[in-house]
A and B are shown apart, each in its own frame.
Chain A
């Protein structure tokens, strides 16, 4: 059992409330997975900005002070890139006006022990071990503005309780995946992806799903095609939420073992593991509420 809450705000007037709405959704799903949590927020001022790549690094302690990391990165990156390093809660954010690949290489050269948990121009990813609401509070979720957000409260089944094993998994620019359930053939697919040259950060089955989708997108699939393909290749039971810079997708396994409920209004589309996470959203009384059909891919774009 894990808890998922995801929110895409169609009405820009709601953007300032993104964090408080997501926080209220998240506190209702803590019971489903209290051992760790992860958050992803899109277009949140102060964490990301346009034409600038931001990497989210696991942990606030990277072995050297933020100023030291910034100085070391500035030596490796163009002076005009304006590299900054910021610690928020248990996450270190590194931003620079360069390509994410170039920034990631510079980070790996400077901090070889670090784990990159998010990348892109739009997304900031935060994860930690502990009570999900404390993690949200430490990162200041309540006050965050943004266009999309998703959170995951985890009850670990297929891998250890570590911050690195928390969701979301963000393995390509602005792509995030959260998962409730487990994949039973993830080891086989992991070996196939390793042979293609894909590198993994954890033993987590969900990371295999995220790497698979990233691989399909890189080969030219649309998000919908990638998730349809995942449904054919992956065995197990799952509800997945995938977000990109401007899209959100939901898919359940073909026998719909894991719960999911969606609420749609003109202002937003919200998805959660249980209705109670949606109960406090504005306009929920008149929202279109439905459970996604088994095996069907649902996508929404901003």
Chain B
């Protein structure tokens, strides 16, 4: 039996009066940016220009810093993220915020495949669409997607909440454990052991909180909730065709 891990609310340090450090990736390597972020102190902020789809931007942050990336990010942006806040004013490539532990990652455009995969905590907001396998193996992260998500999203999701304001692709929540999924639009199909569940007052309240945290004004009453039927937790030969 998996224990549900409640996500902790993160308080971000107030912005300092100092001007944000400006990093132009047309002139400097990503490695230098990440090194500076690893040495950063709470409250500091960075603005990154000309990201040009480079990989591994703002990876491994472990302080209450704020990073704004003006443009499109490549693979694994804001991976292994803790405490800080990363905003991407553009699209993000494969593996956005992979293994996020806490803090916030906000993409104003679309995200590619495997967004917030294996995330343990924190909040990932994608204003546009997310590709396939969004929230795969999520372990406590909260994800709010303004648009649609692709197929096999929340596959083997163990804990956390996935909110989709658009439509979901095929096999949503396949082999899901205890994560909760809220979808406003249509679901192409549900994966193994994922079912629709009633929206109780506690769920409307939880969803309202998540939408507000993502800066959205959608009405929680328009959403449906999905989760685990808990039929496949333990191997049973009778279920062998369902796994």
Pick from A110-118, A162-170, A209-217, A270-278 the stretch touching chain B.
A270-278
A28 neighbours in B (Cβ, 8 Å): 53
The A185-243 residues at the B interface (CB cut-off 8 A) are none
Query: Roughly how many angstroms separate A277 CA and B152 CA in the complex, as a whole number?
Result: 27
- In the complex the two chains form, is A259's CB within 8 Å of B112's CB? yes
Residue from B53, B110, B152 in contact with A279 in the complex, judged by beta carbons closer than 8 Å: B53
- The answer to whether the Cβ of A294 comes within 8 Å of any Cβ in the partner chain is yes
- The answer to whether the Cβ of A255 comes within 8 Å of any Cβ in the partner chain is yes
B203 neighbours in A (Cβ, 8 Å): none
Beyond A256-B113, A291-B110, A294-B151, whether A274 also contacts B132 by CB under 8 A is no
- In the complex the two chains form, is A275's CB within 8 Å of B110's CB? no
- In the complex the two chains form, is A259's CB within 8 Å of B74's CB? no
- In the complex the two chains form, is A291's CB within 8 Å of B53's CB? no
Convert B138-170 into 0s and 1s, putting 1 for each residue whose CB lies closer than 8 angstroms to a CB of A. Answer: 000000000000111000000000000000000
How far in angstroms is the closest Cβ of chain B from A21? 15
Convert B74-112 into 0s and 1s, putting 1 for each residue whose CB lies closer than 8 angstroms to a CB of A. Answer: 110000000000000001011000000000000000101
Query: Roughly how many angstroms separate A271 CA and B162 CA in the complex, as a whole number?
Result: 31
Question: How many residues of chain B have a CB within 8 Å of chain A?
Answer: 18
B152 neighbours in A (Cβ, 8 Å): 255
By secondary structure, the A interface counts as: loop
Most buried by B among A259, A276, A277, A278: A276
- The answer to whether the Cβ of A289 comes within 8 Å of any Cβ in the partner chain is yes
Residue from A255, A261, A278, A280 in contact with B132 in the complex, judged by beta carbons closer than 8 Å: A255
- In the complex the two chains form, is A276's CB within 8 Å of B150's CB? no
B54 neighbours in A (Cβ, 8 Å): 276
B94 neighbours in A (Cβ, 8 Å): 259
Beyond A255-B132, A294-B151, whether A275 also contacts B91 by CB under 8 A is yes
How far in angstroms is the closest Cβ of chain A from B72? 5
- In the complex the two chains form, is B112's CB within 8 Å of A276's CB? no
Beyond A255-B151, A256-B113, A275-B72, whether A289 also contacts B53 by CB under 8 A is no
Beyond A256-B132, A256-B150, A294-B132, whether A276 also contacts B53 by CB under 8 A is yes
**Assuming A255-B151, A275-B93, A294-B150, what are 20 further A-B pairs, CB within 8 angstroms?**
A28-B53, A255-B132, A256-B131, A256-B132, A256-B151, A259-B113, A274-B53, A274-B93, A275-B53, A276-B52, A276-B53, A276-B54, A276-B74, A277-B53, A279-B52, A280-B52, A289-B110, A291-B110, A291-B112, A294-B132
Interface CB pairs A-B, < 8 A, 30 = A28-B53, A255-B132, A255-B151, A255-B152, A256-B113, A256-B131, A256-B132, A256-B151, A259-B112, A259-B113, A274-B53, A274-B74, A274-B75, A275-B53, A275-B72, A276-B52, A276-B55, A276-B74, A277-B53, A278-B53, A279-B52, A279-B53, A280-B52, A289-B72, A289-B110, A290-B110, A291-B110, A291-B112, A294-B150, A294-B151
